[in-house]
A and B are shown apart, each in its own frame.
Chain A
């Protein structure tokens, strides 16, 4: 038992000063909803398409997300600053066209024949100029940026067509590769990185084993970090683990990783069952052992089990749905491809009913658990039930599935989710939750969590950067990363850093939140907004140049109409249309969601007539999830 309860102030403290742990702060980040949405869409398409989850597939939508994303990030910065730029789409085509026109050397009017070394900086200055004009017009006239940039949009659109007809008498300007210095600049804007000959078949047990182990280490570190952040550290002489907890930790670690390695190496139903069970028990043991060494045991009252009332009914509905879904999954014919009306096959209907019932059932269970604040035992039972249901469904899928994808990979992830839920249940009933700041614990927990995330990302990187022979034979694809992807990631990182760590970033939030107030406290509002417009046109310059180098030619209508997709991507990623709130990383995630939704349809082999209907539904869902997550996180502070 803890001898010293945390010092809770007797008087009602100012709610703005109330303790908000790192986890709470993380959940209120704008990009969390987008991240959940992106994960769900990925899992959805991964399960309906064979290619979507492969390296070639990921490369495909990453490429689509790139030009969308670079623009969406810039547009998000501007939106946080409270303005719009409708000329951003047309601007990408304009800069791409300008650079080609400048280097062309045909006919009496046909371009200047400049070397790229001169043409590219000129184009950049042009972009900066347009951004400056946009910003200055908005500031000087006081008109809404919506109208001003709509004007610039039409000007650019007309100028693209007019100048291309004037100079080359066609609506497409071609032949960038004839330009002087092309060989140098193509390395900067048009480089590709082919990974097909980078095979990883046997070294250290093969790429997939390394991926699995790295992912497990990363996940473990994230779990440990989160426990540090949310539980109360043992105070009395708790530096050494007791024999019992050390033993549990050790056995758990060995069993967990042993089970995991066994699971990645085999593909038989019985082997998978054994591997998964060993892994699950090991993981739970290890986490329990670690926790009992490090954290205070639960000190509150259990509240007892009460399965009556609303929560009880909810739990029953949840369990019922899971059972019904699973029965349907088992009973319905999985190989029947008869079409049942609109679009659905029996097979498809089964997948939808099965998946839908189970997901909704588990969510209802978890929701009921979340509501049982007064009774920790209830919460434990409900969370553990949800975890066990996930595990059970995993076993059903594993027994039913025809492809290795479901039998091994999906099964492993289901088991991981189940273990996580059960662990959360056990840890929350066995140990005390921390509701006060603890500097060293917070710092340590954050550090461990971030390391975990880095290791997890490294795991994903191994999958993306190395191919296996089997994979190459199956997909026949050429895995080619374009340099634009690098620009996308770098730009996302730099923009996030600027927003969160620099004075300019704070000014951006300030002018978007309340321009008048920010000006009164000394923020140079006009200058900040103009600079934001220049960031957008600079990003347009980058995207336009990348397109020009990729296609070698630019048609006059390239980019027209894309500005709405940039704004949508930013909104899906958690940016507010009204300004003052949002994130750059969110916009990047939003772009990824859009790209996955667009590209998922051809990957799944669906009728493209429904593309926009589907994209619309996904966007609505993403935005709603976003709103919900943010609302809940803010309420529970």
Chain B
């Protein structure tokens, strides 16, 4: 019983201290009562990589993203890591596999651990907005990356590093116009992801023909993707182009086209080794490259400059990393960089 009382006393004490210390709402998380001595140890989420105690001279930046550690995000992480290594700072990578709740918790954890700057991808602005505002209110500089070009300003983030998805979709639409396509299937590999929706909207804005948008199955079920695209092609004989709004789904479209016996104009988004080979072989006509290495690298550099020199980049506008295009003309040079893991 004496032990219990101690715990209760300690818990009450931390609550009081925390309530005096700041007005953010992270203090009422249950973790604070569990081990009240150091906030550092309790707040580190299980999946964070490279957790090292902050030393007084070092800076620690947190990259809290909706990363699934897939083809795309591993390059962002590589960029962030390279920048951190070059600058001699710590970078903590917290992926959340598209789980907004976990991302919210990761931001809270970063704030609680006294981060020197947070890079956050706003895949779900509704869920993350309040947390980002709380972080800024706690005096931690925030830069949004990858997703959030429309929201970063009102939330008070320094800038946004990424590609505006609608502009990227516009670029794809113009490519299809140049190729001479008549009706394009916008094939999505996730449902309810704003970024993918905006890519298809952007395509619709500039493309002269008709656009059909369809979810074709997750990347973790590649065979279903092939067959679903093939089914959509067989159901509608007018479709002569497919825009895969991810790297894998574009490659699957090639096989779906073979299966349905159709000659297609195929465009993709982002880069993978398979997609590069498909462009090289002439099966895929282009891919929209948002140069995501920059999104990791620049975010860390910008946070560092803000922390050491109070610089703010962008002047209230996003810093665009794309769209760049990989086509048969430049596929050779890009392929070598993809092999190295930086494109």
Contact = CB atoms under 8 A, between A and B. Distances in A.
A387 interface: no
B243 to A, nearest CB: 15
A443 interface: no
A463 interface: no
A352 interface: no
Contacts of A604: 235
Contacts of B68: 557
Nearest to B260: A477
A550 B224 CA distance: 12
A557 B274 contact: no
B235 A603 contact: yes
Interface stretch (A167-175, A202-210, A377-385): A167-175
B170 to A, nearest CB: 23
B231 A174 contact: no
Interface string A23-38: 0000000000000000
A177 to B, nearest CB: 11
A91 to B, nearest CB: 13
B216 A63 contact: no
A161 interface: yes
B227 A63 contact: yes
A547 B235 contact: no
Contacts of A609: 191, 215
Contacts of A480: 259
Contact of A608 (B216, B218, B223, B259): B216
A558 B217 CA distance: 12
B236 interface: yes
B261 interface: yes
B69 A602 contact: no
Contact of A598 (B224, B235, B259): B224
Contacts of A556: 69-70
Contacts of A558: 219-222
Contacts of B237: 476
Contact of A60 (B217, B230, B273): B230
A480 B232 CA distance: 17
Q: Give chain B's interface residue range (CB within 8 Å of chain A).
A: 35 or more
A165 interface: yes
Interface in A388-418: none
Contacts of A93: 220
A172 B274 contact: yes
B146 interface: no
A581 interface: no
A512 interface: no
Contacts of A51: 231, 234-235
Interface in B254-302: 258-262, 272-274
A165 B341 CA distance: 10
A172 B224 CA distance: 18
Contact of A174 (B214, B223, B273): B273
Contacts of A608: 188, 191, 214-216
A302 to B, nearest CB: 53
Contacts of A553: 273-274
Nearest to A599: B231
Given A57-B231, A602-B228, A609-B215, A172 B260 contact: no
A552 B273 CA distance: 12
Nearest to B224: A64
Given A161-B69, A169-B341, A599 B228 contact: yes
Interface stretch (A8-16, A271-279, A559-567): A559-567
A478 B248 CA distance: 22
A514 to B, nearest CB: 37
A478 B220 contact: no
Interface residues of A, number: 47
Nearest to B68: A557
A417 B76 CA distance: 61
A612 B215 CA distance: 11
B70 A64 contact: no
Contacts of A611: 191, 215
A589 B201 CA distance: 39
A551 interface: yes
A67 interface: yes
B297 to A, nearest CB: 17
Contacts, number: 115
A161 B69 CA distance: 8
A61 interface: yes
B221 A562 contact: yes
Nearest to B247: A172
B71 interface: yes
B306 interface: no
B234 A57 contact: yes
A174 B274 CA distance: 7
Contacts of B222: 547, 551, 555, 558
B167 to A, nearest CB: 24
B74 interface: yes
A605 interface: yes
A550 B227 CA distance: 13
A61 B230 CA distance: 10
A171 B75 CA distance: 10
A600 to B, nearest CB: 8
A79 interface: no
Contacts of A477: 234, 259-261
A337 interface: no
Interface in A232-250: none
A537 B216 CA distance: 28
Interface in B74-99: 74
Given A172-B272, A478-B260, A60 B234 contact: yes
A63 B260 CA distance: 13
A468 interface: no
A475 interface: yes
A605 B235 contact: yes
Interface string B123-164: 000000000000000000000000000000000000000000
Contacts of B69: 161, 171, 556
A555 B219 contact: yes
B264 to A, nearest CB: 12
A50 interface: yes
A56 interface: yes
A451 interface: no
B317 to A, nearest CB: 32
B232 A170 contact: no
B220 A560 contact: yes
A616 to B, nearest CB: 14
A192 B232 CA distance: 22
B228 A555 contact: no
Interface in B161-188: 188
Contacts of A547: 222-223
Nearest to A554: B222
A264 interface: no
Contact of A557 (B70, B234, B236): B70
A49 interface: yes
Nearest to A482: B223
Contacts of A603: 231, 234-235
A60 B229 CA distance: 10
Interface of B: 68-71, 74, 188, 191, 214-224, 226-232, 234-237, 248, 258-262, 272-274, 341
Given A51-B231, A172-B272, A560-B220, 9 more contacts: A60-B230, A64-B224, A64-B227, A67-B223, A478-B261, A547-B222, A558-B219, A599-B231, A608-B188
28 contacts: A49-B235, A50-B235, A61-B227, A63-B227, A64-B223, A165-B74, A169-B341, A172-B274, A476-B234, A476-B261, A477-B259, A478-B258, A478-B259, A478-B260, A551-B222, A553-B274, A555-B71, A555-B220, A555-B248, A556-B70, A557-B70, A557-B220, A561-B220, A562-B220, A598-B224, A602-B231, A603-B235, A611-B215
Interface of A: 49-51, 56-57, 60-61, 63-64, 66-67, 93, 161, 165, 169-172, 174, 475-478, 480, 547, 550-553, 555-562, 598-599, 602-605, 608-609, 611-612
Q: 6 closest pairs, A vs B, by CB?
A: A602-B231, A608-B215, A602-B232, A51-B234, A478-B261, A608-B214
